[in-house]
Amino acid sequence: MNTSNDILFDSVDLGDETLPNRVGLAPMTRTSATADGRATTEMARYYAKFARGGFSFLITEGTYPDEAYSQGYDDQPGIANDDHVEAWRRVTDAVHDEGAPIVAQLMHAGALSQGNRYTDERLAPSAVRPKGEQLEMYGGSGEFPEPRAATTDDIEDVIEKFVAAAERAVEANFDGVEVHGANGYLLDQFLTTYTNERDDEYGGDVENRIRLTAEVLEAVQAATPDEFVVGVRISQSKVNDPDYRWPGGEDDAEVIFERLTDASADYLHVTEEDVTTPAFESGPTLTELADRYGDVPVIANGALEDPDAARATVAAGADLITLAKGALANPDWPQRVAEDRPLADFDFQRILQPDATIDESEVPEPADADD
Ligand SMILES: Cc1cc2nc3c(=O)[nH]c(=O)nc-3n(C[C@H](O)[C@H](O)[C@H](O)COP(=O)(O)O)c2cc1C
């Protein structure tokens, strides 16, 4: 194996860690926790498999931070109480045994919640029913219910709950957290013009609409140890509206990436369906914009399973890349690429149908863990 000339296998720093390559696992909801949100031993084996396959850092599936409005899906894991912490330790231990760091993605579903054991009410910036329909692969169907507009107290509570969840992530031996500001969930509902009709300091221009994400980041950074990584994920497209684009174009990108850098994000994780295409009709990609206007490492995600697309994205300004579907098809993608072995195509039917739950075939036997 000769990876010395391959940009993907350069070592790279993320927080205090030096990673042996630039390829991480993207967050993927698999709705495979217990009904009360505890990560399982199967999940520990599932995550460890990617570390063993050469992924240099792992980001967990979206994990709900509180026992209130944040849960999005039935059987989604939480990090909202001590039982959750204990359960996640199995996962962090298993991944650390394989030598990789693991970051917990903290996700507040807001109006896109379609399964919440704690409440039937939905919280959002404004009482706007989401576009589209609930996701069937996560057990939903039909329209989303109309959410309730968050009060100022609710907003303060959201920030406090993100902080408490990050503190629990430290206890669970995670190496960091990723604040989920992308894909249409609560923080992105604040950033998005048509879901945010507020006339206070959290609504209106883009400076106000990015405020909550920035305040969450600042508060989480302040509450966690220096070496603990605190990143943020940002996208234009949403699970229920793939074609949305920031209406101010590059001017919005400038405000958003500068503000998140000022909020001391340790990285900006940008994601699009295909992150190699221009962010707007023409011109730079979202990766290039994050690199231009942000001042911290950029992680790029979206349609990068072709190694040449991944290399081109690194050459264009990404420090790291993550793979979702490509990793499900090839849990050892980095090793295969390093050894110039063929990659398998992603089979949606086999892996994510009839639902997104982790299949037995994706979980190595415990004995494998000692390979
Ligand atoms: C089954 C599945 C679950 C996902 N769950 C999450 C999630 O929990 N959080 C998140 O930020 N993105 C989630 N995503 C989006 C992926 O992280 C990624 O952005 C998207 O699949 C595009 O990357 P890819 O081309 O490498 O698959 C999910 C994607 C898939 C396929």
Q: Report which protein residue has its CA nearest ligand 1's atom 3.
A: 28
73 is catalytic: no
pLDDT of residue 361: 87
134 CA distance to ligand 1 middle (Å):
16
Domain 12-362 adopts which CATH fold? TIM Barrel (3.20.20)
- What confidence tens digit (pLDDT) does each residue in 60-95 have? 999 999 999 999 999 999 999 999 999 999 999 999
- Collapse the DSSP code of 369 into the 3-class scheme (helix H, G, I; strand E, B; otherwise coil) and give the result: helix
Q: Is the pLDDT of residue 277 over 90?
A: yes
pLDDT of residue 1: 55
pLDDT of residue 366: 75
pLDDT of residue 269: 98
Nearest CA-CA partner of 233 in 69, 60, 356, 76: 60
Nearest CA-CA partner of 332 in 117, 23, 79: 23
Q: Which long-range CB contacts under 8 A does 142-149 form with residues at least 24 apart?
A: 144/111, 144/112, 144/114, 144/240, 146/122, 147/110, 147/111, 147/121, 147/122, 147/123, 148/121, 148/122, 148/123, 148/124, 149/124, 149/125, 149/198
Rounded to an integer, the average pLDDT of 247-259 is: 98
Average confidence score pLDDT of the chain: 96
200 CA distance to ligand 1 middle (Å):
32
Q: Which two tokens stand for residue 338?
A: 């390093």
Rounded to an integer, the average pLDDT of 25-31 is: 97
For 72-103, b where at least 16 C-beta lie within 10 A, e where not — what string? bbbbbbbbbbeebbebbbbbbebbbebebbbb
How far apart CA 143 and CA 108 sit, in angstroms, is 19
Q: Render 177-214 in DSSP notation, one character per residue.
A: EEEE--BTSHHHHHHSGGG----STTSSSHHHHTHHHH
Cβ atoms of residues 64 and 37 within 8 Å: yes
Rounded to an integer, the average pLDDT of 128-143 is: 93
14 CA distance to ligand 1 middle (Å):
21
pLDDT of residue 282: 93
Q: Is the pLDDT of residue 371 over 50?
A: no
- Collapse the DSSP code of 312 into the 3-class scheme (helix H, G, I; strand E, B; otherwise coil) and give the result: helix
Of residues 46, 64, 69, 185, which has the active-site annotation?
185
Which of 25, 29, 108, when mutated, tests ligand 1's pocket best, judged by the most ligand atoms within 8 Å of its CB? 29
**Residues having CB within 6 Å of any atom of ligand 1:** 26-29, 61-62, 105, 180, 182-183, 233, 271, 301-303, 323-326, 352, 356
How far apart CA 257 and CA 184 sit, in angstroms, is 18
Q: Is the pLDDT of residue 134 over 90?
A: yes
Question: Angle CA(211)–CA(227)–CA(16) in degrees, nearest 5?
Answer: 110
Alpha helices by DSSP H, 81-136? 82-97
- What confidence tens digit (pLDDT) does each residue in 312-358 have? 999 999 999 999 999 999 999 999 999 999 999 998 888 888 888 99
State phi, psi for 264 to the nearest 5 degrees.
60, 45
Q: Would you list the domain boundaries of the chain?
A: 12-362
The closest-lying atom of ligand 1 relative to the alpha carbon of residue 178 is 11
Cα distances (Å, whole numbers) of residue 69 to 60, 107, 139: 20, 11, 18
User: What percent of the chain has a predicted confidence (pLDDT) above 70?
Assistant: 98
pTM comes to 0.97
